[in-house]
């Protein structure tokens, strides 16, 4: 049986947001993990897998075998960011994908 895909849906508290800022798209490959720094300066951050391949995220040692999956087309939202932190992304061997990131203040 194939992998079941779920869509992530979260509603941001728009009354607390004064600015939305889009980052440049981030290419994700299997060559190296990509670090995305999430700043405490932002209330929330939204990360969308805009590519055709699943992306895996986790700590600096993330792989497609041990990471949490962000399916193609899905979005991960971090809300109430209180400390700056890094999250790392990678795809499976020979694959590439693209992340779109929007930060909300």
Which pLDDT score, from 0 to 100, does residue 9 have? 47
Residue 60 covered by a domain: yes
Q: What is the CATH number of the domain that holds 89?
A: 2.60.120.10
- Mean pLDDT across the chain: 80
Residue 1 is assigned to a structural domain of this protein: no
Structural domain of 84: 18-104
- pLDDT tens digits, residue range 32-67? 778 787 777 767 888 999 999 999 999 889 999 999
The reply to whether 61 falls in a domain is yes
For the chain, the three-class secondary structure string (H helix, E strand, C coil) is CCCCCCCCCCCCCHHHCCCEEECCCEEEECCCCEEEEECCCCCEEEEEECCCCCEEEECCCCCCCCCEEECCCCEEEEECCCCCEEEEEECCCCCEEEEEEEEEC
Q: For residues 14-31, b (16+ Cβ closer than 10 Å) or e, as one string?
A: eeeeeeeeeeeebebebe
The whole model's pTM is what? 0.75
Q: Are 84 and 39 in contact (CB under 8 A)?
A: yes
pLDDT value of residue 103: 84
Residue 2, domain member (yes or no)? no
Q: How confident is the model at residue 15 (pLDDT cuts 50, 70, 90)?
A: very low
């Amino acid at each position: 049986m194939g992998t079941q895909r779920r869509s992530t849906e979260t509603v941001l508290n728009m009354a607390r947001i004064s600015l939305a800022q889009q980052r440049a798209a981030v290419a994700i490959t299997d060559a190296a993990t990509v670090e995305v720094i999430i700043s405490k300066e932002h209330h929330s951050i939204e990360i969308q897998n805009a590519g055709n391949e699943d992306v895996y995220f986790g700590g600096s040692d993330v792989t497609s075998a041990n990471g949490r999956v962000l399916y193609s087309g899905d979005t991960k939202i971090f809300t109430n960011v209180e400390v700056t932190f890094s999250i790392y992304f990678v795809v499976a061997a020979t694959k590439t994908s693209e992340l779109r990131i929007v930060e909300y203040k």
